[in-house]
């Protein structure tokens, strides 16, 4: 079969299809591999089917398959969902509109015996004698979904995409934790530094006052009294300094353990 013969056969077959149930506009491009290799498009508009031997760049769906598989689908001998499931039909684009291809299949007007024979032959050829149609449809839908997920995320399956997203979220959470811990450590260091500086100022001021008292003493007895008074000032300053540091540590502990 040549490319021209395939396009003509597709035009004649799909030309008999009842597209009245398809609302709006649908554009398919078929890329044929192997025998009759080439590309053509099928367009449904206002319930009418039109086929032309050109590419359709503003298409809704791109199908890639062989001439034999396409003719079987067109003549109703092969379910397009099953063809996709078994790898005979590749799909890119709108899943919703891709599923409308089945509505365009044209069943041949044959006797019951001949129809049964064709069905049996097709089943034998495709290995579908025991196939569960519902399972096949579910599998096809999953494959289509995985394909769309891969385009959007770069992951082969929905499960992989979900796991990758979980890892991404987990990494983001850990990063935020690290940033929060770093900020808490910065604030804790600031509180300690402020407490230490305030404590040093108190002690230094007390020591300066002690020196001033001792130097101002007029006699040995007054000097002894000044030294004792000065020592008490320094002790009190050191006690206040320690209290400031304890208060700072309490604030730091509350800061580190707050929810």
Q: Is residue 109 helix, strand or coil?
A: coil
- The answer to whether the CB of 150 falls within 8 A of the CB of 221 is no
Q: Is residue 247 helix, strand or coil?
A: helix
Q: How far apart are CA 130 and CA 124, in angstroms?
A: 10
Q: What percent of the chain has pLDDT over 70?
A: 84
With respect to CATH, is domain 3-128 assigned 3.30.1050.10? yes
**pLDDT attached to residue 201:** 94
**pLDDT attached to residue 5:** 96
Query: What is the band of 247 on the pLDDT scale with cuts at 50, 70, 90?
Result: very high
Q: Is residue 42 helix, strand or coil?
A: strand
Structure tokens at 132: 């569960």
**pLDDT attached to residue 79:** 94
**pLDDT attached to residue 136:** 62
Residue 198: what are its φ and ψ, rounded to 5°? -65, -40
Q: Is residue 62 helix, strand or coil?
A: strand
199-217 pLDDT, tens per residue? Answer: 999 999 999 999 999 999 8
Q: Which residue has the higher pLDDT, 137 or 185?
A: 185
* Burial (CB count <10 Å: 0-12, 13-18, 19+), residue 173: exposed
Tell me what the mean pLDDT of segment 113-138 comes to.
Answer: 51
Tell which residue, 119, 16, 30, 127, has the closest CA to residue 82: 127
**pLDDT attached to residue 135:** 65
- The answer to whether the CB of 97 falls within 8 A of the CB of 61 is yes
Strands 38-45 and 48-52: antiparallel
127-138 pLDDT, tens per residue? Answer: 554 454 556 666
Q: Residues 76, 141, 128, CA angle at the centre, nearest 5°?
A: 45
Least confident of 20-24, 35-39, 98-102, 145-149: 145-149
Q: Is residue 56 helix, strand or coil?
A: coil
Q: Is residue 28 helix, strand or coil?
A: strand
Cα pseudo-dihedral 23, 27, 32, 37, rounded to 10: 130
**pLDDT attached to residue 124:** 53
Mean pLDDT of the chain: 86
| Predicted TM-score (pTM) of this structure | 0.46
- The answer to whether the CB of 73 falls within 8 A of the CB of 107 is no
- The answer to whether the CB of 28 falls within 8 A of the CB of 41 is yes
Q: Residue 191: is its pLDDT beyond 70?
A: yes
**pLDDT attached to residue 112:** 41
């Amino acid at each position: 079969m040549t490319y021209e013969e395939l396009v003509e056969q597709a035009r004649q077959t799909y030309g008999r299809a009842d597209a009245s149930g398809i609302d709006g506009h649908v554009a398919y491009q078929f890329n044929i591999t192997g025998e009759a290799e080439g590309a053509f498009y099928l367009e449904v508009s206002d319930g009418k089917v039109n086929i032309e031997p050109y590419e359709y760049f503003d298409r809704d769906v791109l199908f890639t398959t062989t001439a034999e598989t396409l003719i079987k689908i067109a003549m109703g001998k092969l379910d397009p969902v099953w063809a996709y499931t078994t790898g005979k039909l590749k799909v890119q684009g709108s899943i919703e509109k891709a599923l409308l291809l089945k509505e365009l299949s044209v069943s041949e007007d044959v006797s019951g015996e001949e129809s049964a024979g064709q069905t049996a032959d097709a089943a034998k050829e495709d290995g579908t004698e025991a196939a569960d149609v519902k399972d096949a449809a579910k599998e096809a839908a999953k494959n289509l979904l995985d394909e769309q997920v891969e385009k959007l995320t770069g992951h082969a399956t929905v499960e992989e995409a979900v796991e990758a997203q979980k890892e991404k979220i987990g990494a983001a959470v850990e990063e935020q934790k690290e940033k929060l811990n770093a900020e808490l450590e910065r604030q804790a260091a600031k509180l300690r530094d402020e407490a230490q500086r305030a404590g040093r100022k108190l002690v230094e001021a007390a020591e300066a006052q002690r020196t001033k008292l001792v130097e101002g003493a007029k006699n040995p007895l007054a000097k002894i009294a000044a030294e004792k008074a000065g020592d008490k000032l320094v002790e009190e300053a050191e006690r206040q300094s320690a209290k400031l540091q304890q208060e700072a540590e309490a604030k730091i502990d509350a800061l580190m353990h707050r929810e």
